[in-house]
Copies of this chain bind each other. A is one copy, B any other.
Amino acid sequence: MEILKFVPYIFLFVSLSSANSVVDFCVADFNFPDTSAGFSCRNPANLTVDDFVFSGLGVAADPLTNIFRVSVTSAFDLTFPAHIGLGLSMSRLDIGVGGVVPIHSHRVSELILVIEGEILAGFIDSNDQAYYKTLTKGDITIFPQSLLHFQINVGKTPALAFVSLNSASPNFQTTTTSLFANDLPTDVIEKITLLDVVQAKKLKRIFGGSN
């Protein structure tokens, strides 16, 4: 009996070696343009296990150097291309005492896990109902896709949390920088938010907006 001539499958093993990443995985090749549905993929034959491991989430970034006292270290499409197309990414949050992840949203859902400290986490639904609670070690909560949400370190020590999102390209939109870090005219901001001009100008100064 010939035991090694498993011909059809062996044929598959060989012929698929450069093309089957479409289903299994796609490690992005940034030399090609991205498309409306994703990135071009590297040849699987050139990949090693190191392409699938990201080691940057073990060390705390210093959250004290910005106004919100928060550091976000992200393994997403550009920094961890192995998970592109697989519908997952992860970020490490270091929030200093009194620090804040300001109100923001993104197209995909998010799950937060608290490892250390006390974090007030909340989201607002499309009926304007606010859901918020202080989470401690081992607690998780969910922020449904596209809804505004936030986190505040309300404890007396630095807080550490990990968030998982169900896209490799979550594209955060932070409300304050969306309004105040660009050239949107102050009178437009006033009209679309009902904020006072003085307030809007103050925030433009903080975030570097013009006009």
Report how far A25 CA is from B127 CA in the complex, Å.
Answer: 12
Q: Is the CB of A66 within 8 A of B193?
A: no
- Closest chain B CB from A12 CB (angstroms): 7
Interface string of A48-78 (1 = CB under 8 A from B): 1110111111110100011110111111011
Chain copies in complex = 6
* A145 in complex: contacting residue of B5, B67, B107, CB < 8 Å: B107
Chain B residues with CB below 8 A from A15, complex form: 78
Verify B130–A88 contact, CB threshold 8 A: no
- How many chain A residues have a CB neighbour from B under 8 Å? 148
Please tell me if the beta carbons of A37 and B36 are within 8 angstroms of each other in the complex. Answer: yes
Contact of A173 among B52, B53, B147 (CB under 8 A): B147
Where the two chains meet, the residues of A that have a C-beta atom closer than 8 Å to any C-beta of B are: 1-9, 12-13, 15-17, 19-26, 28-30, 32-41, 43-44, 47-50, 52-59, 61, 65-68, 70-75, 77-78, 80, 82-90, 92, 98, 100-103, 105-111, 113, 115, 120, 122-133, 135-142, 144-148, 150, 152, 162, 164-167, 169-179, 181-184, 188, 191-196, 199, 202-203, 206-208
A-B contact pairs, 25 of them (CB 8 A): A1-B67, A6-B67, A6-B207, A9-B66, A9-B174, A16-B78, A23-B167, A24-B144, A26-B34, A26-B36, A33-B41, A53-B141, A57-B138, A58-B137, A59-B138, A86-B109, A86-B144, A86-B145, A87-B145, A90-B164, A106-B126, A126-B173, A148-B173, A152-B192, A196-B199
